[in-house]
A and B are shown apart, each in its own frame.
Chain A
Amino acid sequence: IIIITYYYYLAAMKLSVSEGNPHCIKPLAALQVTGVQVSVHYVNHDERVVPFLNRPVVPALLLPSGQHLFSPNVICRYLFEVKGQESSDLCNQWLEWEATSLQPALQLALHMAVLQGKGSEVSKVLQGHLNVLEQSLSKDNMPFLTGVLYYNRNGLYLHDLKSERGSLKTWFDLVAAMHGCQSTAQKVLQGKGLQGMKSYMQRQPVPQSSQCRDAPPCNSNPAEDNDRVVTEEEMEAAVLAWSRDLNNSCDSASRQYPILPQEGKRNILLTSALPYVNNVPHLGNIIGCVLSADVFSRYGRLRGWNLLYVCGTDEYGTATENKAREEGLTPQQICDKYHAVHAAIYKWFQIDFDYFGRTTTEKQTEIAQNIFWRLHERGFLLEDTVEQLRCENCQRFLADRFVEGTCPHCSYPEARGDQCDKCGRLINAVELGEPQCKVCKRTPIIRSSKHLFLDLPKLENELEQWLDRSFSTGDWTANAKQITRSWLRDGLKPRCITRDLQWGTPVPHPDFKDKVFYVWFDAPIGYLSITANYTDQWEQWWKNPQQVELYNFMAKDNVPFHSVVFPCSLLGAQDNYTLVNHLIATEYLNYEDTKFSKSRGVGVFGDMAKDTGIPSDVWRFYLLYVRPEGQDSAFSWADMALKNNSELLNNLGNFINRSAMFVTKFFEGRVPVMELQREDKKLLALVGWELQQYIQLMDKVKIRDALKHILNISRHGNQYIQVNTPWKKIKEGDAERQRAGTVTGVSVNMACLLSVMLLPYMPTVSQTIRDQLNAPPSCIQTILQGSGAFVCVLSAGHSIGSVSPLFQKLEADQIEALKKKFGGQHPQRAAGTPSEAVSLPSAQAEVAPVIGGDPEKAKQLTQAVAEQGEKVRALKAQKAEKTVITAEVAKLLDLKKQLLIAEGKKPEPAPQKGKKK
């Protein structure tokens, strides 16, 4: 029995692995070899399995005690020890060498082989390490355990390298023959060999060659200057691309109304989550949907895709009704007012919608009711009586967001009626513990009312089949897949689609005539109706899954409605609707160290950004630079200034400005003749590689990652100019002058290339650069065609225009002032939030004018504070009533504050805890 219990105990262990992650081969093979029972879970590369580590680390083994092992070697070692095989000193030594020396080298080798396509270079990096292995093997036997580990790391390379090395190969074959090793490798890499690791490798930090410490002495440093090694073939290809002609077939120069799908083109329908109308969007909202979608749509148009970008304001719902009541307007007036606010903000941010509409239109009613009837006719709607919370005091049913209480799942005390902000689960409002009307704070009563439900369980099968297809063929961000899977795992339940409200799309069914559609049924239909308001032929987009690819952009909280609920509505309607192919969800953007909060006035809101005097393009750049792609990120003023000054001003702007100035100053504004030498060709290859990475990443909507490659190019450029010193050479002999010309010509062409790559991110700056360079419009298509080509678009003799600086420095004091202005440290900023101000003692206003010290008064006050303190202590000792004590404590605090002022100190709302003693 003890033995059985022990095995159950071990079986409680959980090994988390991810597909295509080479580190996972080791523990999986060790499982096979040792036969230890462990449940294996496949997770995403991004999943944070080990709670205390900063970065997601997989594989990880959850031990029976609840602790985690997160190193592949230690996991293997543990598994072997469970089976009674302890590791010797020699084994330890190999493990340590593997972890500290071989692994960093392999990481670099993998990076080169998998991501940079430089499989042939790998042997150089690993040469020394392989020699060490080889020598040791010829001398003595390698311990068994380490054998397994090495095989798995090395085998892949050896296969690829076709290494024919005596004893190393023998040993390698020996280990390979062992049960499980080879099949495990096959399984983890999905039989795709090295390429199976690609998605994993893309998420790893770029290894530095310097990290390969303790490279054995025979190993020459794999990469001399941290740069990629450029091969001869790459240089040849780069020169070929460079001398290509301009592509003059630029047909996508102007957009013609209406944009409709075209045969033989890539037809992309792009939506951004509809912002809710009664809130001014903050930076997090902007980066989460409209700005990200804008970058991708601009990029798509440059790539020659036939693309339609629609968005609009989501206007129905209780929040609007309530806001209208507050401002003494009708809901329609509120919507009109705020729709204009939104439109103006997005215009300032240069969001280039093809159409920015709204949900309160006739088309919305028409299409929503049509979908409703189709669902009804096909039996996908259920009728049920619902218990609802009604506030008798306010005389209305409480919409989900107007009730707060304790979450039934995680006991979070401030859960909303529809969803808990803490655990993220959906809640039925009547399940809340201690519900409270958010308006009057009274306890609502439960009343029943008849409602309609979308029968999700009935559609679940069809949904899953479609999701499988969409996941495998489209680009879904990891979080989108994960959230969707977790919804399906929990099982779908019928979802109510009606509400007892007035401000909404009316339910056409006679039995439900006083009800409207619930926003989550209604709002996504807004995408359709907004397109319908753009063109009568909207069905060519929305009922055309054969020709159209649909991209949805949103923040992660919106995922389930786009991946589960809305697709079910469309699938159930059985009308050949276009369903989402690519779902791009961001994580959250925080403000400094906290959350954006309208009610506390913390953070920068869309309408305030332009008041900062910082150009729209710089805002776009920084938001995209910190785009919460794959993980949460934060907006920080100091960081924004730093990025502006270091990246835009000193790196990008400096390079573009310098190269254009050289043309103006040294060559009378004409691009000089270029005679490419080896060094230039190497640069062309490097730049070409960055461009290709940019295109690969952008095609996959990795917007933030792609931006890094733009900045890499200008870094290469600055270095190139710095090394070649054209400003010196121009004053020397003919050969040197020629060299200065080549360097200047290549640089100014790089500047033009940069302007094209920047276009989706910073449209105004991008245009300014091309204006300054007088660049031909066709340069855009020329550079971004196919997999990207760095073409010499400004050939010798081309005259450039007048050159001026592109960016301005953000000064520290300017940033400090903005930081103060927009809260962060001063949550009581907003004048419009009186509730915050009340908590400050009223006496502050009276004493504030006393600036500077007043010793006489200070003496009196010291006395008064002491007396008041005595009084409070006495009251507490007597266990007096709480209200009495609170009042006296308030007086005491007031006196203390006055005392501080009298002593000439600042009456900061100091942490009161510190003062207790």
Chain B
Amino acid sequence: MALRELSSLEKYLGLKKPNKYTTRGDKKIPVLQSSNGTQLVGLLTIACHLVKEAKRPELLGDSTERRALAQQWLEYRVTRLDGYSKEDVKNILQDLNLHLQDKVYLTGNQFTVADALMYYGVHPLIVDLSIQEKEQYVNVTRWFDHIQHYPGVRHHLPLVVVLRNTIYTGRHH
């Protein structure tokens, strides 16, 4: 799973030479084997490394503050979304929904690598939502739909259909 994410990320970043990856442990933590023999361990770490390698530092955030926010959401991704339980799902979606209420991307107005990885991470949750739930988490759904249509991000994941009109009234009034 994580390896497919990384390979999609590589494609998005336009990296020509694919890197070599292995995984470690039951949880299949990704490990990047670099050409000089050193290793990098962990999805977040490798993703940030790839962004730097592709010379796209703006994807990590274009200011100190935005970099911190991007890291915040990357950490949220690897701590909360890997190995979540059923009860977590609701909490995660609620957190994100409230956070995204007044934002286009996770860190505000700019796309960062946090959006891409969060998108990969919540995809399995969103696929399982009913239309009614998607309306309930309207901000997450809007953000999700935006990211899955963001040029070059989606790659290995199927498109999730998001209705443009709401069909359940009452909940938000």
For the complex formed, measure the closest distance between the CB of A839 and the CB atoms of chain B, giving whole angstroms.
Answer: 16
A89-B49, A92-B48 known; A70-B72 Cβ under 8 A: yes
Q: Does the CB pair B45–A67 fall under 8 Å?
A: no
User: Roughly how many angstroms separate A92 CA and B79 CA in the complex, as a whole number?
Assistant: 14
Within 8 A of B (CB), among A56-80: 63-65, 67, 69-71, 73-75, 77-78
Q: Does the CB pair B48–A914 fall under 8 Å?
A: no
Q: Does the CB pair B78–A100 fall under 8 Å?
A: yes
Q: Does the CB pair B78–A96 fall under 8 Å?
A: yes
Tell yes or no: A93 within 8 A of B by CB: yes
Tell yes or no: B152 within 8 A of A by CB: no
Tell yes or no: A52 within 8 A of B by CB: yes
Tell yes or no: B133 within 8 A of A by CB: no
For the complex formed, measure the closest distance between the CB of B87 and the CB atoms of chain A, giving whole angstroms.
Answer: 10
Q: Does the CB pair B72–A99 fall under 8 Å?
A: no
Q: Does the CB pair B65–A100 fall under 8 Å?
A: no
Residues on A with C-beta less than 8 A from B48 are 89, 92
For the complex formed, measure the closest distance between the CB of A553 and the CB atoms of chain B, giving whole angstroms.
Answer: 30
User: Roughly how many angstroms separate A75 CA and B29 CA in the complex, as a whole number?
Assistant: 24
Q: Does the CB pair A52–B67 fall under 8 Å?
A: no
Q: Does the CB pair B99–A73 fall under 8 Å?
A: no
Tell yes or no: A81 within 8 A of B by CB: yes
For the complex formed, measure the closest distance between the CB of B56 and the CB atoms of chain A, giving whole angstroms.
Answer: 16
Tell yes or no: B98 within 8 A of A by CB: yes
Residues on B with C-beta less than 8 A from A74 are 68, 71-72, 75
Q: Which of A78, A89, A99 contacts B78 (CB 8 A)?
A: A99
Within 8 A of B (CB), among A463-482: none
Residues on B with C-beta less than 8 A from A82 are 64
Within 8 A of A (CB), among B37-79: 40-45, 48-49, 52, 64-65, 67-69, 71-72, 75-76, 78-79
Tell yes or no: A834 within 8 A of B by CB: no
Residues on B with C-beta less than 8 A from A914 are 169
A63-B65, A64-B65 known; A52-B95 Cβ under 8 A: yes
Tell yes or no: A214 within 8 A of B by CB: yes
User: Roughly how many angstroms separate A71 CA and B72 CA in the complex, as a whole number?
Assistant: 7
> Which residue of A is nearest B44, CB measured?
A96
Tell yes or no: A264 within 8 A of B by CB: no
Within 8 A of A (CB), among B80-101: 82-83, 91, 94-95, 98-99, 101
Count the A residues whose beta carbon is within 8 Å of the partner chain — how many? 37
Tell yes or no: B25 within 8 A of A by CB: yes
Count the B residues whose beta carbon is within 8 Å of the partner chain — how many? 36
Tell yes or no: A853 within 8 A of B by CB: no
Q: Which of A64, A99, A211 contacts B75 (CB 8 A)?
A: A99
Q: Does the CB pair A89–B40 fall under 8 Å?
A: yes
User: Roughly how many angstroms separate A103 CA and B83 CA in the complex, as a whole number?
Assistant: 15
A63-B65, A74-B75 known; A913-B95 Cβ under 8 A: no
Residues on B with C-beta less than 8 A from A81 are 64, 67-68
User: Roughly how many angstroms separate A51 CA and B101 CA in the complex, as a whole number?
Assistant: 12
Within 8 A of B (CB), among A215-237: 215-217
Q: Encode B161-173 as 1/0 by CB contact (under 8 A) with A.
A: 0000000011000
User: Roughly how many angstroms separate A64 CA and B48 CA in the complex, as a whole number?
Assistant: 25
For the complex formed, measure the closest distance between the CB of B150 and the CB atoms of chain A, giving whole angstroms.
Answer: 21
Residues on A with C-beta less than 8 A from B14 are none
Within 8 A of B (CB), among A30-58: 51-55
For the complex formed, measure the closest distance between the CB of A497 and the CB atoms of chain B, giving whole angstroms.
Answer: 42
For the complex formed, measure the closest distance between the CB of A432 and the CB atoms of chain B, giving whole angstroms.
Answer: 27
User: Roughly how many angstroms separate A69 CA and B65 CA in the complex, as a whole number?
Assistant: 10
Within 8 A of A (CB), among B6-46: 24-27, 29, 40-45
Q: Does the CB pair B45–A69 fall under 8 Å?
A: no
Q: Does the CB pair B42–A93 fall under 8 Å?
A: yes
User: Roughly how many angstroms separate A415 CA and B108 CA in the complex, as a whole number?
Assistant: 35
A74-B75, A913-B169 known; A65-B45 Cβ under 8 A: no
User: Roughly how many angstroms separate A99 CA and B95 CA in the complex, as a whole number?
Assistant: 19
Q: Does the CB pair B44–A213 fall under 8 Å?
A: no
Q: Does the CB pair B49–A100 fall under 8 Å?
A: no
Q: Which of B41, B72, B94 contacts A97 (CB 8 A)?
A: B41
> Which residue of B is nearest A92, CB measured?
B45
Q: Does the CB pair A93–B71 fall under 8 Å?
A: no
Q: Does the CB pair B78–A911 fall under 8 Å?
A: no
> Which residue of B is nearest A914, CB measured?
B169
Residues on B with C-beta less than 8 A from A99 are 75, 78-79
> Which residue of A is nearest B28, CB measured?
A214
Q: Encode B101-126 as 1/0 by CB contact (under 8 A) with A.
A: 10000001000000000000000000
Q: Does the CB pair B40–A93 fall under 8 Å?
A: yes
Q: Encode A886-917 as 1/0 by CB contact (under 8 A) with B.
A: 00000000000000000000000001011000
For the complex formed, measure the closest distance between the CB of B57 and the CB atoms of chain A, giving whole angstroms.
Answer: 11
For the complex formed, measure the closest distance between the CB of A903 and the CB atoms of chain B, giving whole angstroms.
Answer: 20
User: Roughly how many angstroms separate A521 CA and B48 CA in the complex, as a whole number?
Assistant: 63
Q: Which of A69, A96, A213, A214 contacts B69 (CB 8 A)?
A: A69
Q: Which of B25, B67, B91, B108 contacts A214 (CB 8 A)?
A: B25
Residues on A with C-beta less than 8 A from B45 are 89, 92-93, 96
User: Roughly how many angstroms separate A51 CA and B98 CA in the complex, as a whole number?
Assistant: 8
Residues on A with C-beta less than 8 A from B24 are 214
Residues on B with C-beta less than 8 A from A73 are 75
For the complex formed, measure the closest distance between the CB of A137 and the CB atoms of chain B, giving whole angstroms.
Answer: 16
> Which residue of A is nearest B29, CB measured?
A214
User: Roughly how many angstroms separate A914 CA and B165 CA in the complex, as a whole number?
Assistant: 11
Q: Which of B25, B40, B101, B108 contacts A217 (CB 8 A)?
A: B25
For the complex formed, measure the closest distance between the CB of B63 and the CB atoms of chain A, giving whole angstroms.
Answer: 9
Q: Does the CB pair B170–A911 fall under 8 Å?
A: yes
Q: Does the CB pair B71–A911 fall under 8 Å?
A: no
> Which residue of A is nearest B87, CB measured?
A205
Residues on A with C-beta less than 8 A from B82 are 100, 213
For the complex formed, measure the closest distance between the CB of A519 and the CB atoms of chain B, giving whole angstroms.
Answer: 36
User: Roughly how many angstroms separate A67 CA and B72 CA in the complex, as a whole number?
Assistant: 11
Q: Does the CB pair A69–B170 fall under 8 Å?
A: no
Q: Which of B25, B94, B169 contacts A54 (CB 8 A)?
A: B94
For the complex formed, measure the closest distance between the CB of B2 and the CB atoms of chain A, giving whole angstroms.
Answer: 12
> Which residue of A is nearest B93, CB measured?
A54
User: Roughly how many angstroms separate A903 CA and B154 CA in the complex, as a whole number?
Assistant: 46
A52-B98, A97-B42, A913-B169 known; A67-B25 Cβ under 8 A: no
User: Roughly how many angstroms separate A214 CA and B78 CA in the complex, as a whole number?
Assistant: 12
For the complex formed, measure the closest distance between the CB of A149 and the CB atoms of chain B, giving whole angstroms.
Answer: 13
User: Roughly how many angstroms separate A67 CA and B105 CA in the complex, as a whole number?
Assistant: 13
A53-B95, A97-B42 known; A67-B170 Cβ under 8 A: no
A52-B95, A89-B49, A213-B83 known; A911-B169 Cβ under 8 A: yes
In the complex, which of the residues B44, B82, B91 has the most CB atoms of chain A within 10 Å of its own CB atom?
B44
Q: Does the CB pair A63–B79 fall under 8 Å?
A: no
User: Roughly how many angstroms separate A213 CA and B101 CA in the complex, as a whole number?
Assistant: 32
For the complex formed, measure the closest distance between the CB of B4 and the CB atoms of chain A, giving whole angstroms.
Answer: 19
A92-B48, A99-B78 known; A69-B42 Cβ under 8 A: no
> Which residue of B is nearest A82, CB measured?
B64
User: Roughly how many angstroms separate A55 CA and B95 CA in the complex, as a whole number?
Assistant: 9
Query: Sorted from nearest, which 3 A-B pairs have the closest CB atoms?
Result: A52-B98, A78-B68, A96-B42
Q: A71-B72, A73-B75, A89-B49 are in contact. List 17 more A-B contacts (CB 8 A).
A: A53-B95, A53-B98, A54-B91, A67-B108, A69-B68, A69-B69, A69-B72, A77-B68, A77-B71, A78-B71, A81-B67, A93-B45, A100-B42, A213-B82, A214-B25, A215-B25, A217-B25
10 A-B pairs in the complex with CB atoms less than 8 angstroms apart: A52-B99, A53-B98, A69-B72, A75-B68, A77-B71, A89-B48, A93-B40, A99-B79, A211-B83, A911-B170
